[in-house]
Amino acid sequence: MAQGPIVLDDLDYKILAELLRDGRASFRKIAEKLGVSVSTIVSRVEALEKNGIIKGYTALVDPTKIGYTFSAVVHVRIKHGKLLEVQRAIASYPNVYGVYDVTGESDSIILARFRNREELSTFIKTLLANEYVERTITYIVLDTIKEEWRPIQLLERSIKEE
């Protein structure tokens, strides 16, 4: 059963904004900046983790700097009744960083990165070899304007609205 949004207070939003600005910031530094005790920050962060709001901590890696300069958006049409099975299989590919269940002409939209056109070609051919994939439409990304979701401004707006 899907859980609805968790109610956060002003301090929770401020903590999230600080962690989004610098995920390596110490709890002491965050506590000093927000004017609360370190133990308050620790307990709040633990609650945010427990409730699944904070899903983990990671480094943001620039894919182009490690050779993944080729991005693609792939629309996939999947045979009736096999949607989740195929989406889960696609999600397991290491080049894939987004799998979306969508409305419209396609059943799923895939975001993936590759080192070159040949890797993309192999990926598409692998998708089409799946007996439940009816067709794909592939878009090659020419330039990335924005590709990041760190909603600092949304969190700050939520603080102001309370």
Q: Which amino acid is at 10?
A: D
For residue 1, pLDDT over 60 is answered with no
For residue 152, pLDDT over 80 is answered with no
Q: State the pTM of this model.
A: 0.79
Cα–Cα distance measured from residue 95 to residue 1, given in angstroms and rounded to the nearest whole number: 30
**pLDDT given for residue 129 in this prediction:** 97
pLDDT by residue (tens digit) across 31-71? Answer: 999 999 999 999 999 999 999 999 998 888 899 999 999 99
Q: Which two tokens stand for residue 47?
A: 């609650």
* DSSP H helix total and E strand total for the chain: 6, 4
For residue 161, pLDDT over 90 is answered with no
CB atoms within 10 A of CB 85: 13
Q: Which amino acid is at 69?
A: T
> What's 63-140's CATH class?
alpha beta
Pick from 93, 83, 99: nearest CA to 122: 93
Q: How far is CA 158 from CA 35, 56, 152, in A?
A: 19, 22, 10
Pick from 123, 38, 143: nearest CA to 76: 123
Cα–Cα distance measured from residue 150 to residue 153, given in angstroms and rounded to the nearest whole number: 8
> What's 10-59's CATH class?
mainly alpha
Pick from 11, 16, 6: nearest CA to 150: 16
CB atoms within 10 A of CB 52: 9
Domain boundaries, the chain: 10-59, 63-140
Asked if domains 10-59 and 63-140 share a fold, the reply is no
